[in-house]
Structure 1
Amino acid sequence: MAYVQHRMTEIPGMRIHSVETKKYKTNTIVLQLKNLIKEDSVTKRALLPNVMQSGTEKYPSSKQLRGALDDLYGATLNVDLSKKGNYQIISFRMDIANEKFLSDQSKLLDQGIALLADVLLRPVTENGAFKEDIVSKEKRSLKQQIESIYDDKMRYANKRLIEEMFKGDPYHLNVYGNENEVDQITPQDLYAYYQEVLANDEFDFYVVGDISHDEIVNKAKQFFVFNEKRAAGQSIEKNEAVEVTKVNEVIEEQDVQQGKLHMGLRTYTTYADPDYLALQVCNGIFGGFSHSKLFINVREKHSLAYYAASRFESHKGSIFVMSGIETANYEKTVSIIKEQLEDMRNGNITDDEMAKTKAMIKNQILETVDDAAGLVEVLYHQIISGYERSIEEWINGIDRVTKDEVVEVAKKIKLDTIYFLKGRGNENGTKTV
């Protein structure tokens, strides 16, 4: 039996996805808006969703819109921004009670979808633009969000690593945009960009719950009516294989107590590639879990780091190593991190490491798809990559990964950039650039 009963139907302007399950007493509705991340629009795109969810023609203020959600048995509406590969994704998520479990048999699902359609297609406006007070309020919030990255040194180091590693590549852009551009955005500018989003973005609409696929398709056709013809057709951004000729080392000084050492590696493998599952196991053994080589050797054995881990971006084909260290330990930590990858290339991987990593990955997958929002996230990987991999194929494929396959994928990995944020006045024999 399949883990997930996922069906997809294309209608004018969008793709409709459903997962029919009796597991939940709520229905989760997610609308994903996909487009390339671009220098000239990244900040407007970051601002847009919060402005859109601040009011509709029918409910022209945040208070009235929240009141309408409360009337739907406490439904919730949230927006999110994410960067997947070279795409800047806007997500609207609504959780709403399933009317089948209520004594009042009101058409909650219809009302919920209608409200979400209003947020997308009929946001509140005045004089042919977004309302000045809403835009001003959300601009302040966005600036605070961007500024908060500087205060969180782990996030800041990750941001700086990506900026250095991907210079000239759209991926270097921060998903929340550029703080210096926020004040320049007018309600008219933002509304003009909103019109571009309606015309050019790819829309994917997901509903997870005790529902019928055909019913969801009919409701989507009823409520999501676009003024202009839109094609739901899928565009896939292919990564260029960037050859590493020299490791880029960047060292920055700030008033920090704990140094942040972040390293970027190119894997030349993405979600759609045949050796993706081997890479997933490879990263798990390298630094993905508490039994991984980075954690055991850098943190536990040598006591060099407060934390040491790695994660990978499956659509960009990159692994990012993160660790918090004393400045004096910089060179030794870099050396030991490199040794762990070299060990894997040389086949120094135990059966226990393979077994524990596979078990952890499978548990992660099952935990993720057990949550409705997590399940949508997993299914959306297929849209981003243009490659379908069922949950069954994923789990069974992890089981089949061999040590030799992990070694081969490790051999492809190349260190690209080292970024180190160190405290002022801490000399360790390295040159600040």
Structure 2
Amino acid sequence: MANEEKLAINGGKPVRDKFLPYGRQWLDESDIQSVIEVLKGDYLTTGPFISEFESKVANYVGSKYAVAFSNGTAALHGACYAAGISNGDEVITTPITFAASANCILFQRGKPVFADIDPVTYNIDPASVEGLITPKTKAIIPVDFTGFPADLDSIHFIASKHNLIVIEDAAHALGATYKGKKIGSISDMTMFSFHPVKNITTGEGGIIATNNISFYEKLIQFRSHGITRDIKKMKQHPGNWYYEMKLLGYNYRMTDIQAALGISQLKKLEYYNEKRKYIAELYNQELKNIKQIKLPAMAAGYLSSWHLYVIRVNSSQVKVGRNQIINALQKENLGVNVHYIPVYYHPYFQGLGYEKGLCPNAEELYEEIITLPLYPLMSDDDIFDVIKAVKKVIEYYAISND
């Protein structure tokens, strides 16, 4: 019985002999040497590589400032603090995201308010956002889902009209552009993540890009216990050994080890993203005629960083549900995934009083999406194995129109 469970859908041999994950990091010898350099130096935690990494990221995305954090969630928390979100404030975000996009609001005792998604792009729908604004609304957190930028013009128009702050969750979107502008140069604050499956990695890590000096200064202080060594901000200064804690901050600092790896990885970002684009274009070309699935949307003026490649199963054209298709693809040794479970479906949010039915488009999407493997280390054989497996499984479960 155990052997039967491992068989592919038609009882034959799987398309692949070896498991292919949906994403993974690419580290080469230059990355390893960059870390060794730090390990041999004087600083492991807060040292010169952090400010260098911040400067290089800011320069790349076109922002005045960048503040590195220990991870993307910590960076979002810092952004919510800098935005002044506090007890009772409402912040509008999307449910089709990782939980951190909403958790950062809760960390500041604010209330996440979930707007529905655009059924074409799967990004937050500005019309839904507009309908949810109340006197308590303080900010909007759009998410550039899969690396495809949200409708930032509409979101910023709404934010300007209602005096709201835009914190862009661009965890997927390092290198993406919106109407000719790099993501990271547009919103009040923009977060990028450097988790191993992201477009570049620092192991764990995140960063906030901003053009606002006030936000920048708050972020710097917040990530390091609320402590300052700036003489102009102290009540007294008895010596250069002295420092003052001005607010209740956190230990959210990135290490020099992480930053050095990030500097090395950043040099290869454009190549990595080109490879991601190449894989996505092959998928688009080879899968476009399968009527049982919908491929990712494209739009003029948007350049995705292709962090994820998400297909949508046309439920009316297949004999089984999405989960059975996932199981079949996994038996072909593909590490397919689902991005994402609507945030308010999670038990913790249900315990806060959120109920299913809030965002119909997001909930319908969730039942039908599958994330295919996409990362720069994939070979052409890997890519065509994915294509072959998808065709095989979808054809097997397709409803015949004969």
- Give the TM-score of the pair, scaled to structure 2: 0.27
Which structure's residues are more often strand, by fraction? 1
Q: Higher helix share goes to which structure?
A: 1
TM-score, with length taken from structure 1: 0.26
